[in-house]
């Protein structure tokens, strides 16, 4: 088996492991964070009906002087504001295959500061 295939299989295994423990319901939906090298995307998903309730990304931030961690913090605050508009106050955090530090942690801190409870 080649290295890229092994890395991909390991990534899928990590995602499955996290998703087996994190399930979004209508009373407590899932806050999923997708981090790439350049961007960060956040969604609040109700898994019982397989529907995205609220979404946000770093493309809403227009300030070019911020670093990626500060932008991720602002994305967390934006998703919290949008969730409050939809009457969502509690969520389950889904980090997918990424460790909980850096930009993923910044999104969580921004969402908490915006009023979401994990």
- Domains of the chain and CATH, by start: 3-114 (3.30.420.100)
Contacting residues for 118 by C-beta, under 8 A, at least 6 apart: 31, 90, 91, 92, 93, 108, 111, 112
- Identify the residue whose tokens are 């070019």: 64
pTM: 0.88
The answer on pLDDT for 63 being more than 90 is no
Q: How confident is the model at residue 1 (pLDDT cuts 50, 70, 90)?
A: low
Q: Do residues 56 and 82 make contact, with C-beta atoms less than 8 angstroms apart?
A: yes
Three-state DSSP class for residue 80? helix
Q: How many residues does the chain have?
A: 118
């Amino acid at each position: 088996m080649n290295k890229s295939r092994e890395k991909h299989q390991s990534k899928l295994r990590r995602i499955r492991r996290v998703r087996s423990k994190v399930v979004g319901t209508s009373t407590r939906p899932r806050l999923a964070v997708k981090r790439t090298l350049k961007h960060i995307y956040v969604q609040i998903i109700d898994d019982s009906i397989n529907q995205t309730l609220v979404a946000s990304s770093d493309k809403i931030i227009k300030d070019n002087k911020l670093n990626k961690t500060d932008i991720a913090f602002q994305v967390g605050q934006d998703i919290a504001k949008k969730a409050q508009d939809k009457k969502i106050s509690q969520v389950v955090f889904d980090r997918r295959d990424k460790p909980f530090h850096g930009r993923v942690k910044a999104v969580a801190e921004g969402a908490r500061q915006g009023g979401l409870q994990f």
